[in-house]
Amino acid sequence: MMKKFWFVLVFGMASQVAVAAQLPVLVGMTDTTAYFPLLEGRRVAVLANHTAVAELPDVAGADASGRVHLVDLLHGRGFVVTGIFSPEHGFRGTADAGETVRNSVDARTGIPIRSLYDGNARRPSDAAMASFDVLVVDMQDVGLRFYTYHISMLRLMEACAACHKPVVVLDRPNPNGHLIDGPVLEQRHRSGVGMIPVPVLHGLTMGEIARMAVGEGWVAPCDLTVVACRNYTHATEYVLPVPPSPNLPTQRSVYLYASLCPFEGTIVSVGRGTDRPYECFGHPSLRGLPYVFTPRPTAGAKHPPLESMVCCGMNLRAVPLDEAHDTGFSLRYLIVALRASGAGEEFFTPMFEKLVGVSYVRSMLLDGATEDEIRARWQPEVERYRTLRAQYLLYED
């Protein structure tokens, strides 16, 4: 069982929405009075990347704009930080998707960085686990089942449970937290991009995922503390201050990610290797579509799919931001591309089921089903999930 949760609910849930609409969102990292006491006299490990920053202008280590990284904050306050665990894309957030990232040392503090994507088992060694007393987690997730930051967190929570190490999650808003949509993952399609049985858009923050995973037995129970965001509800529109990964550089790409990522399980490019990843899609066979681009090696896409090939497709940069915000898990673009390609079964790769999480979407698409017909198939399981999710929420919807 979960031993404890720390979060601030100064106001009743009924008034939380009104308050959040008036005040700026404060991420969990800023509530130092809630978690500094939990770290005193302990060796600290951090699971974080480049997104673990906050506006704290009066603290040591803050830059000219007042922004400080969690590692610099803890180091500057004299906490004994013995290691940094880094997720997919590395501590600096510059590596390609799934790229092997070697262990290194943080140049600013001299703290060792232990990569969870070093090509070995994505679980720390016994020596690494013995090097700390408490784990602090702080990463900006985007609210999708196949985005891997929460998977790294859950794996480390499992390791901490086995070694009786407490875990402190510094929560951050979910920019897609207003949406719950898409199929719930089937057990047979579990993978490195799908670990827990939730919809594609799960409507949870990292802290809420941690609570739910422990409460439902999806990970072993650990001593878990969640430091909540303040002035936030799931209805709050939250613009990310830092791109969460190399190929989600804009708010629009974060919103369109749910609908475009399934293309990673097809022959179609989602614009990696261009200046608009996840804001376009295309393939050489889609000649009837108007937008043309050619993927080239770029930062975060050293060898992009369809490199140097002229692709035809659609440019979604003109999609209004409010429309992208409300898109959810739409199959409209998949249907357009599948029909334009004429590729049939060859349109898909085995990765497709790992991303959508179920087997029936591919077969229904190939049979010519409409988006509404396919959506009706997953809707009952989404409604069951909504009821389950409600038990673990820290924030009003």
Is residue 7 in some structural domain? Answer: no
Strands 134-138 vs 167-170: parallel, antiparallel or unpaired: parallel
Lowest mean pLDDT among 26-30, 124-128, 283-287, 294-298: 124-128
Is residue 108 in some structural domain? Answer: yes
Determine the average pLDDT of the residues in 4-16: 40
The last residue of one of the domains, among 219, 241, 263, is 241
> Do 194 and 271 share a structural domain?
no
> Do 149 and 89 share a structural domain?
yes
pLDDT at 61: 72
> Do 375 and 293 share a structural domain?
yes
pLDDT at 265: 98
> Do 208 and 71 share a structural domain?
yes
> Do 235 and 100 share a structural domain?
yes
Is residue 181 in some structural domain? Answer: yes
Is residue 294 in some structural domain? Answer: yes
> Do 142 and 275 share a structural domain?
no
Residue percentage of the chain with pLDDT more than 90: 82
Lowest mean pLDDT among 121-135, 180-194, 225-239, 318-332: 121-135
Determine the average pLDDT of the residues in 96-117: 80
CATH code of the domain containing 197: 3.40.50.12170
Is residue 230 in some structural domain? Answer: yes
pLDDT at 118: 67
User: Taking the C-alpha atoms of 324, 326, 329 and 331 in order, what is their torsion angle to the nearest 10 degrees?
Assistant: -60
Is residue 327 in some structural domain? Answer: yes
Under 8 Å between Cβ of 392 and 211 = yes
Residue percentage of the chain with pLDDT more than 70: 90
- Of the two residues 127 and 122, the one the predictor is more confident about is 127
Residue type, 205: T
pLDDT digits (tens, 9 = 90+) for 32-45: 999 999 999 999 99
Is residue 6 in some structural domain? Answer: no
> Do 222 and 86 share a structural domain?
yes
User: Residue 94: pLDDT band by 50, 70, 90 thresholds?
Assistant: low
User: Residue 2: pLDDT band by 50, 70, 90 thresholds?
Assistant: very low
Determine the average pLDDT of the residues in 1-30: 58
pLDDT at 14: 41
Residue 389's φ and ψ, nearest 5 degrees, are -60, -35
Lowest mean pLDDT among 10-19, 98-107, 168-177, 326-335: 10-19
Determine the average pLDDT of the residues in 145-161: 96
pLDDT at 107: 84
| 299 has pLDDT over 90 | no
Could you tell me the residue range of the domain that residue 87 belongs to? Answer: 13-241
pLDDT digits (tens, 9 = 90+) for 48-77: 999 999 999 888 777 878 899 999 999 999
> CA–CA separation, 99 vs 88, rounded Å?
8
Q: Comparing C-alpha atoms, which of 307, 273, 311 is closest to residue 290?
A: 311
> Do 268 and 126 share a structural domain?
no
> CA–CA separation, 256 vs 51, rounded Å?
20
> Do 175 and 73 share a structural domain?
yes
pLDDT at 62: 77
Is residue 153 in some structural domain? Answer: yes
The last residue of one of the domains, among 241, 272, 304, is 241
Average pLDDT, the chain: 91
Angle in degrees, 0-180, between the axes of helices 149-163 and 206-215, rounded to the nearest 10: 50
The last residue of one of the domains, among 241, 274, 296, is 241
> CA–CA separation, 127 vs 129, rounded Å?
5
Strands 224-227 vs 167-170: parallel, antiparallel or unpaired: parallel
Determine the average pLDDT of the residues in 249-278: 98
3-state per-residue secondary structure call for the chain: CCCCCCCCCCCCHHHHHHHHHHCCCECHHHCHHHHHHHHCCCEEEEEECCCCEEECCCCCCCCCCCEEEHHHHHHHCCCEEEEEEECCCCCCCCCCCCCCCCCEECCCCCCEEEECCCCCCCCCCHHHHHCCCEEEEECCCCCECCCCHHHHHHHHHHHHHHHCCCEEEECCCCCCCCCCEEEECCHHHCECCECCCCEEECCCCHHHHHHHHHHCCCCCCCCEEEECCECCCCCCCCCCCCCCCCCCCCHHHHHHHHHHHHHHHECCECCCCCCCCCCEEEECCCCCCCEEECCCCECCECCCCCCCCCEEEEECCCCCHHHHHCCCCCCHHHHHHHHHHCCHHHHECCHHHHHHCCCHHHHHHHCCCCHHHHHHHHHHHHHHHHHHHHHHCCCCC
> Do 219 and 347 share a structural domain?
no
| 93 has pLDDT over 60 | no
pLDDT at 13: 44
User: Residue 279: pLDDT band by 50, 70, 90 thresholds?
Assistant: very high
> Do 318 and 336 share a structural domain?
yes
- Of the two residues 12 and 335, the one the predictor is more confident about is 335
pLDDT at 58: 81
> Do 35 and 173 share a structural domain?
yes
> CA–CA separation, 198 vs 196, rounded Å?
6
The domain total for the chain is: 2
pLDDT at 122: 62
Determine the average pLDDT of the residues in 321-341: 97
User: Taking the C-alpha atoms of 27, 29, 32 and 37 in order, what is their torsion angle to the nearest 10 degrees?
Assistant: 130
